[in-house]
């Protein structure tokens, strides 16, 4: 059954994403008494603003469409691979540097909840604000500790099972990463250029093993009867993913 605090997708002639609160709540540009759907079942129908909606549990894809966005994001095609390469699961601890808009932070938190934690550093106050808002929208704030600081200079605790770097010069953070990761811990570095990729990989050689790099290209399909073909538009280069494990 639907309970207070759930994030729901109301699907009718339009799509409305909202969190279920007890009482009158602001929803988009209007208001609605969302308390009346508490106790209803997923897939039930409800009327708001003279329109009928079916109620579904919001997916992470639904949530991402409503995220605040700053100048720096890691898209799902890349973030899902980072989760895989870091072998993330509930109970793991992740050190992140470069929260950006928090899109990757949200995916990391979803992977390690309910028993894990993400510690995320960023030097930009605006990025921390956007990340905090996006975490609030997903209900994942309790699984993330956002800190303002530079991972290259901070005295960071040890025992992390994984680290993800999305900063311009990740090679300068490797001393900190090496001290913070457990033996065999995973490191993923996300960079946009070949120069950054090469310099980071060479800097990892002494302290990491199973070093590899990849790029993910996404191509959507335009599906029509007797005319299915690749979409003319594609999501091409966004960034390279460099990964390895601490010796």
- CATH no. for residue 22? 3.10.330.20
26-34 — which CB contacts under 8 Å span 24+ positions?
none
Of 95, 230, 73, nearest to 170 (Cα)? 95
Distances, alpha carbon 63 to alpha carbons 7, 35, 80, in Å: 9, 21, 15
Torsion of CA 50, 3, 143, 140, to 10 degrees: -10
Same domain, 93 and 165: yes
Same domain, 50 and 113: no
Q: Does residue 102 lie in a domain region? A: yes
Ramachandran assignment for 184, one of left (phi > 0), alpha (psi -120 to 50 degrees), beta (any other): left
Pair 200, 170: CB distance under 8 Å: yes
Same domain, 154 and 49: no
pLDDT at 69: 87
Same domain, 157 and 80: yes
For 175-220, what is each residue's pLDDT tens digit?
999 999 999 999 999 999 999 999 999 999 999 999 999 999 998 9
Query: How far apart are the C-alpha atoms of 213 and 228, rounded to whole Å?
Result: 32
* Mean local confidence (pLDDT), 28-54: 89
Instruction: Decide if pLDDT at 4 tops 70.
Output: yes
* Mean local confidence (pLDDT), 68-84: 90
Pair 98, 191: CB distance under 8 Å: no
Same domain, 18 and 78: no
β-strand 181-191 against 240-246: which pairing, if any?
antiparallel
* Mean local confidence (pLDDT), 5-19: 91
Pair 211, 129: CB distance under 8 Å: no
Q: Does residue 54 lie in a domain region? A: yes
Same domain, 15 and 99: no
Same domain, 36 and 145: no
Same domain, 138 and 159: yes
* Mean local confidence (pLDDT), 33-42: 92
Same domain, 54 and 71: no
Q: Does residue 1 lie in a domain region? A: no
pLDDT at 31: 85
Instruction: Decide if pLDDT at 239 tops 80.
Output: yes
What total of structural domains would you count in the chain?
2
pLDDT at 228: 97
Q: Does residue 95 lie in a domain region? A: yes
In the three-class reduction of DSSP (H, G, I as helix; E, B as strand; rest coil), residue 90 is classed as: coil
Higher pLDDT, 181 or 66: 181
Distances, alpha carbon 148 to alpha carbons 92, 131, 193, in Å: 22, 12, 26
- Position 25 confidence tier, pLDDT thresholds 50, 70, 90: confident
β-strand 240-246 against 208-215: which pairing, if any?
antiparallel
pLDDT at 236: 81
For 123-179, what is each residue's pLDDT tens digit?
999 999 999 999 998 999 999 999 999 999 999 999 999 999 999 999 999 999 999
Pair 218, 230: CB distance under 8 Å: no
User: For the chain, what is the mean pLDDT?
Assistant: 93
pLDDT at 29: 66
In the three-class reduction of DSSP (H, G, I as helix; E, B as strand; rest coil), residue 95 is classed as: strand
Same domain, 86 and 202: yes
- CATH no. for residue 237? 3.40.50.150
Which residue among 58, 79, 94 closes a domain? 58
Distances, alpha carbon 22 to alpha carbons 5, 28, 41, 80, in Å: 9, 17, 16, 34
Pair 112, 91: CB distance under 8 Å: yes
Q: Which two tokens stand for residue 105?
A: 């932070």
Same domain, 94 and 33: no
For 92-131, what is each residue's pLDDT tens digit?
999 999 999 999 999 999 999 999 999 999 999 999 999 9
Which residue among 58, 76, 101 closes a domain? 58
pLDDT at 22: 81
Instruction: Decide if pLDDT at 56 tops 80.
Output: yes
Instruction: Decide if pLDDT at 24 tops 90.
Output: no
Q: Does residue 108 lie in a domain region? A: yes
Query: How far apart are the C-alpha atoms of 222 and 228, rounded to whole Å?
Result: 6
Domain that holds residue 47: 7-58
User: Cα Rg for the chain, rounded, in angstroms?
Assistant: 20
Q: Does residue 236 lie in a domain region? A: yes
Q: Does residue 132 lie in a domain region? A: yes
Question: Which stretches of 151-222 are assigned E, i.e. beta strand?
Answer: 160-165, 181-191, 208-215, 221-222
pLDDT at 21: 85
* Mean local confidence (pLDDT), 38-61: 93
Same domain, 155 and 37: no
Instruction: Decide if pLDDT at 28 tops 70.
Output: no
């Amino acid at each position: 059954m639907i309970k207070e605090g759930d994030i729901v997708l109301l699907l009718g002639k339009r799509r409305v994403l909202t969190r279920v609160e007890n009482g009158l709540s602001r929803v988009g540009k209007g208001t609605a008494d969302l308390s009346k759907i508490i106790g209803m079942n997923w897939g039930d129908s409800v009327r708001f603003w003279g329109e009928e909606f079916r109620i579904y549990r919001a997916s992470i894809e639904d949530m991402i469409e409503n995220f605040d966005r700053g100048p720096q994001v890691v898209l799902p095609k890349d973030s899902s691979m980072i989760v895989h390469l870091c072998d993330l699961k509930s109970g793991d601890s992740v050190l992140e540097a470069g929260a950006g808009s928090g899109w990757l932070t949200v995916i990391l938190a979803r992977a390690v909840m309910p028993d894990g934690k993400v510690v995320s550093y960023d030097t930009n106050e605006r990025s921390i604000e956007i990340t905090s808002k996006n975490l609030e929208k997903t209900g994942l704030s309790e699984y993330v500790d956002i800190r303002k600081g530079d991972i290259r200079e901070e005295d960071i605790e040890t025992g992390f099972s994984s680290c993800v770097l999305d900063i311009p010069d990740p090679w300068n953070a490797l001393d900190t990463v090496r001290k913070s990761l457990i033996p065999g811990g995973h490191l993923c570095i996300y960079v946009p250029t070949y120069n950054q990729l090469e310099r980071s990989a060479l800097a990892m050689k002494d302290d990491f093993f199973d070093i590899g790099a990849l790029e993910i290209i996404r191509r959507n399909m335009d599906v029509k009867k007797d005319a299915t073909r690749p979409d003319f538009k594609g999501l091409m280069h966004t960034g390279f993913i460099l990964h390895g494990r601490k010796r």
